[in-house]
Amino acid sequence: MFIGEMKIFTGNANPRLTEAICKKLGIPMGKITIEKFRDGEINLVIDETVRGYDIFIVQPTCTPVNDNLMEMLIIIDAAKRASAARINAVIPYYGYARQDRKTRGREPISAKLVANLLTVAGADRVITMDLHAGQIQGYFDIPVDHLTSVQTLAHYFKEIVKGEDFVIVSPDLGGVSRARNFSNYLNLPIAIIEKRRPRPNESEVLNIIGDIHGKKAIIIDDIIDTAGTITNAAKVLLERGAEEVYLTATHGVFSGPALERIRSSSIKKCVVTDTIPLSEGTRNDKIEVVSVADIFANTIRSINNNESVSALFHSPEYK
């Protein structure tokens, strides 16, 4: 099936990432005007033709989550009504992903609701990165390209771990697959923190599986939110014999006291990607941001050309 030329648009969530993606692809960012009425309603118009085009809308649903989600839905609807050939929702960070199942009675499954909203609005495809729960892909009845930042983060650490005694640490049992994948790129052993969560954003370490004594540790996770759990894990690793601790994750949500917790902790460095924008005023010398614009640009190019996306992650470029 022939798909026309592509155009890339963005809402207000992360225009800097969208600009970087467009620069990699060598195309200008699509023109769109987004305003708000006094009561908070979003008012927007796409300022150029999209008829017959392959449209990519880049919009992580990060803080303010509901505004950014609504912007995405309205842009999709506008493109659909303007006869776009195909609409691809590029969601670097998928908000509500942590509400992926019922753990008690009368709870919603908000991740599924968001999937329904995107589909009903008119999205033909979703492109996202490091979902909190991989099964969310099954909530969609349209194609989902689930990307990962593991290679990008591993590339950052490649020089750091050279010649040093490092271990990759999963902060919980659910993250073992991610830690194993990350460790494979760096050819390092892994350890696992066994913990329990008495309350949301709180955890207690029960045991550490694996050898961390005298080693430098890299804790890898998908999201750093309030940073309470992960800085507590770093503290326990140091108390039990680790020499240094690094943190890394795809999505730096950094809500509430997160930045202060990282700043005052004993960690060496915290490395996240730019799926969520981090303003210059909130950065500190312990936080590093690496870009995933290359991954999204190459994925968008492959989709537009009807080429394999999975092949990208087996190419030497990502090793």
Query: Which residues are part of the catalytic machinery?
Result: 195
CA contacts within 13 A on the Cβ side of 117? 17
Element (H, E) at 22: helix 15-25
Tokens at 300, concatenated? 């968008």
Name the maximum alpha-carbon separation found in the chain.
61
Sheet with 244-252: strands ordered across: 204-209, 190-196, 166-170, 216-224, 244-252, 269-273, 287-290
Angular region, 256: left φ>0, alpha ψ -120 to 50, beta rest: left
DSSP 78-128: HHHHTT-SEEEEEESS-TTTT--S-SSTT---HHHHHHHHHHHHT-SEEEE
Determine the residue type at 52.
Answer: G
CA distance 187 to 171: 19
Mapping DSSP to helix (H, G, I), strand (E, B) and coil, where does residue 218 land? strand
